[in-house]
Amino acid sequence: MGENPAKNHYAQLNQGEENEMEIFGYKTQGCRKALCIAGYFLSCGALLLLFYWKPEWDVWANCIRCSLEEADVVLLRTTDEFRIYSRKTVTWISVSALIQSRLNYPATAVEDSIFSKAIMKPSLQVKSIQVQRIRYVWNIYAKQFQKVGALEDHHTCSAIHAKFGSGLTCNEWNVRKVICGPNTIDVPVIPIWKLLIKEQSVKLHRLVESHNNIMVTVCRNKEGDSCFQELESHHLVPGDMLVLKEGKTLLPCDAILISGQCIVNESMLTGESIPVTKTHLPQADNFKPWRMHCAEDYKKHVLFCGTEVIQTKADDTGVVKAVVLRTGFNTAKGDLMRSILYPKPMNFKLYRDALRFLMCLIAFAAIGMIYTVCVFALNGEEAGEVVKKSLDVITIAVPPALPAALTTGIIYTQRRLKKKGIFCISPQRINMCGQLNLICFDKTGTLTEDGLDLWGLLPCERNCFQDIHSFPADHSLPWGPVFRAMAVCHSLIVWEGKIQGDPLDVKMFEATNWVIDDSSGHQIEGQGSTHATVVRPGPKASSAPVEGVAILHQFPFSSALQRMSVIAQEIGGEQQVFTKGAPEMVAMLCRAETVPLNFESKLLLYTAQGFRVIGLACKSLQAGKQSTDLTREEVESDLTFLGLLIMENRLKRETKPVLEELSAARIRSVMVTGDNIQTAVTVAKNAGMISPTNRVILVEANKIPGSFSASITWKPLEKNKPEDYRGLAKAMGLEPRSPRVFTSALPVEDDSPPTTERRIGLALASGQYHFAMSGKSYQIVAQHFRHLLPKLLLNGTVFARMSPGQKSSLVEEFQKLDYFVGMCGDGANDCGALKVAHAGISLSEQEASVASPFTSRTPSIACVPELIREGRAALVTSFCMFKYMALYSTIQYLGVLLLYWQLNAFGNYQFLFQDLAITTVIGVTMSFTGAYPKLVPYRPPSQLISPPLLLSVVLNILFSLSMQVFGFVVVQEQPWYSKTDIHSACLSVNNHVENSSSISSLGLRGMRDGAHGQTDNGYKSYENTTVWLLSTINCLIVALVFSKGRPFRQPIYTNYVFILVLIGQLGVCLFLVFADIDDLYSKMDLVCTPTTWRISMVIMLAVTLAASFLVEEAVIENRPLWLLLKKTFRYHSKSHYKRLQRVLEQDSAWPPLNETFFSDSVAISVEGSMGGHSNPTFDSNEDTL
């Protein structure tokens, strides 16, 4: 057991990661195992099924606690609120056949390798477990399970080049292959016979099978010499050296590029068709792990599994090489597949309440069982009959069709969404869409057009801004540093005959009228590279004194650095650096004497009008330096400021109407963007997120230099008149070509007029204010002012310069305030936020994106209200189905218990008719009702355990009980009633009718002498006929009453199929009531009753229908009545954000305008936890210029 089994019994798996779990060690005990096997047989498999549902019980029953080192079974438990258990068996992998001796295995014996630390001596075995398709091996030194299938994170940049640059040895490769397993993302298609078939598994299988078997070239190290070898991709292991050849290549793994350059199409994963440039990992000689050294830029060196390399550029080595980083389900694509195969459970009240609802029905059934046992036992029935009747009660009280009925509603909603171009890979989230009350929107490509229009160029010479150059203009842009910057500072490529790349880069380059020479093999003087991209003057270009310019090296755009740079050389000229990026960032990298003094005011002038502004800079390089030898820090320093590129980013046509619709429905809209904060505020105002009468308050947080504390300031942004801007624009030579409304935001000076202060005070008093903050300020607030964050989020509308991790963190913080958060973005840089939101909507042209639960084929936010409408309709349909199923089972349950009192029951065909002909058909067709086209300013209830819903169910149960008991009792008081003679009613009526000579008018000709000879199976009685007919038609009544229409679903009469079904079922039921066909009555176990009694039953049903309908419409659906009751009893919402709103309404000191607060010296570290789902693939294209 070890020295301290209690201590070594427990550990954490994937500590600090999204899929963090607790792991416990257990050892199987023979006697316990034998007892459990006996229990399986004695319980006819019921115990085995219970253990399947409750794996922790299985482990506790079969095993005893032990240390993880000795364990042969481990029990895993998630660390989230759900605490889900799973059981895994420890397996042993033998490598003895591959390693004959220690001397025979020098390469893998490197002490810092997990492979050497996992091999136990002298058995040469590896202890492993597999959790959610990821293999973990036991580290015999660290005494813990560690993930394999990925290169260790501790390697430095130089170590990766040195250790793996020449490839693995055959011996090393064999050992890694056995321990890591095959490099495949295997999504098995579940067999139909398992009854768990999911269409999604078929689609996922097709999605991943394409790259499971690709022929690749690897480099092998044989006795110090490198040789190339071709093999199938499923044989790849971490550390293998891939050789990327020219032409298109599908990547079967994640790999680090260590030589050359690649252009990659990542649309398979991100939905973005823009090619991405990947550069090789630098050979930095330091002690930092490679990922820490590269910071957020490490993704620029990583090629991701499932993406396509469309172009390679070799360096002076002549070969493009990459080291395999991750294989199989450890890859970025594998991680996405696992997130789909093993989705994070959703803590939705509806699903929690559903379980409680079933528990109530089971308790209800238990009462019925006790009643049944008492009644039948006291009447001397056989024990077998008592057990059978008791078990019948459970199947009646707990409706088995409930899950199927609820699933049917979701499927119909999913189909309706698909017809509208919205695709869903997580159907259970559809109901959650009905509760959304806050939507976060990305700006570029979501609220605004994806493409940008070049509006103007503001060049800078000798520390001063020059006259603006407008686009399009009559005269071409003159040759000079600014022109060269626009021609070369981009990452564009020619792909399939067209210039491809970032829309901003495309517009900028097209304005020069130059072309990209995509022919390979350009020899550049002084450079070893023969694959430089060359740009040349096009046919329409103005004359230039050069033949062309070669782009020697790129430092791709980084969302963390907010810039990109290139090293370029005029053919026959000198090398120069060109940088473009966020103006504030570019200005910081420039020599102070080259930046104009009015830089900030000019920048504010354009950003406040909603323009997108890009800063340009350059510098010359010393001759004789290889471009590949320069670091980014050396290149991007001491630059000369060249000017500002001004681009117009227009709102999409549907943006403003959609945001107005959401606002009218009291659904908050928040902008989360990587753009400049002034641009974002202006776009928010133009889009209608911020009303013209509302105030905007800029929240700025900064770290205090030389200390661990920080400061936070609230500055109001003043709304200037349009005339002021037009005058200023005219003075600066900036007259817009078309009329524009300049709604903008500029800081108010401390000596602002009293009228302004009064206006701001009034706006703040009425709560009509919005906070705007940058990603940097958000990060500092999260670290140093954690207590202020909820208050800021309550009125935060604009979040600018946000990184992908910060976007995810923001969504999670909103969720902590009990908001139901939707996220709408482009599916690439927003993927983390799309995954953690309650409903993530990716705007992509692809039919289905694995990056987001919902994907819209049309890149328009019009899909957001559509999804909310359908979500609300689906949620209401779920409640309708719950209520109907509860009433249907209760009606049948009450009817059976009434008949049990006389030792009677419903017949088999009676049960069959109610279950199949009535309930199943209703369950299928009730969900056909579509969503109501208008969004109302309130949401449907989110929980089953709510007063209106419970009152509705209870009252309808009482109506049904009253009607059935009334019919049951009153039928026994009828003069024609006989307990023993089931034909007495019609015989007595027949005799009376014959005497009055009116047989035909009563329609009782079916009663013949042979009727007495019919066999009685024990079910036929007047009580049975009465109760069954009343309960059957009562099911139709509750189906009609519970089929809600407005305000969340279309009126019930629009569901033609459902109405026709109800009419047909009612017609059949009335036919059974009034028909008098011997054979039919015999089959259905019905008996003949007088017409007067049949009419009496119809009257009882009509009264029940009127009472149910009146209560449902006048009480249950009477919203003003419930609001009045809430006000009377002073009921307040328990949501965190609602409570906070009430507190802030009473706080006259909030927000503290023009004040600065300072934090304590202690800060909360949130650097590593800025987001929930962080998949490296999707953080690669953040557009924060």
Contact status, residue 651 vs residue 508, Cβ threshold 8 Å: no
For the purposes of burial, counting CB atoms within 10 Å of the CB of 1027, is it exposed (0-12), middle (13-18) or buried (19 or more)? buried
Task: Quickly tell me which residue has 């307990």 as its tokens.
Answer: 979
Question: Distance between alpha carbon 759 and the CA centroid of its chain, in Å?
Answer: 42
Backbone angles phi, psi at 747, to 5 degrees: -60, 140
Query: 3-class SS at 722?
Result: helix
Contact status, residue 586 vs residue 579, Cβ threshold 8 Å: yes
Out of 315, 335, 442, 505, which one is annotated catalytic?
Answer: 442
CA–CA–CA angle 1166, 1172, 1173 (5° rounding): 135
Please report, as a single letter, which amino acid is at residue 111.
E
For the purposes of burial, counting CB atoms within 10 Å of the CB of 385, is it exposed (0-12), middle (13-18) or buried (19 or more)? exposed
Please report, as a single letter, which amino acid is at residue 526.
G
User: How far, CA to CA in Å, does 460 sit from each of 279, 594, 616, 619, 716?
Assistant: 31, 8, 10, 14, 31
Backbone angles phi, psi at 1118, to 5 degrees: -90, 90
Q: Nearest CA to 573 among 544, 543, 594?
A: 544
Give the number of other CB atoms < 10 A from CB of residue 506.
18
Nearest-Å Rg of the Cα atoms of the chain is 37
Structure tokens at 741: 């409304």
Strands 533-537 and 308-313: unpaired
Return all residues near 29 (Cβ < 8 A) that are at least 6 apart.
62, 63, 64
Give the number of other CB atoms < 10 A from CB of residue 297.
19
**To which H or E segment does residue 14 belong?**
none
Strands 821-825 and 438-441: parallel
Q: Nearest CA to 327 among 253, 243, 218, 240?
A: 253
User: Got the DSSP string for 878-890?
Assistant: HHHHHHHHHHHHH
> 502 — alpha (psi -120 to 50), left (phi > 0) or beta?
beta
Contact status, residue 699 vs residue 773, Cβ threshold 8 Å: yes
Please report, as a single letter, which amino acid is at residue 210.
S
Strands 261-265 and 276-279: antiparallel
Catalytic: 1147?
no
For the chain, the distance separating the N- and C-terminal CA atoms, rounded to the nearest angstrom, is 60
> 327 — alpha (psi -120 to 50), left (phi > 0) or beta?
beta
CA–CA–CA angle 1078, 1084, 1086 (5° rounding): 65
How many CA atoms does the CB half-sphere of 516 hold within 13 Å? 24
Number of residues in the chain: 1185
For the purposes of burial, counting CB atoms within 10 Å of the CB of 842, is it exposed (0-12), middle (13-18) or buried (19 or more)? buried
**To which H or E segment does residue 1048 belong?**
none
Strands 276-279 and 320-326: unpaired
How many angstroms separate the CA atoms of 260 and 293, rounded? 20
Contact status, residue 126 vs residue 138, Cβ threshold 8 Å: yes
Structure tokens at 233: 């991709």
How many angstroms separate the CA atoms of 444 and 651, rounded? 9
User: How far, CA to CA in Å, does 509 sit from each of 96, 466, 559?
Assistant: 60, 21, 21
How many angstroms separate the CA atoms of 19 and 12, rounded? 11
Catalytic residue list: 442
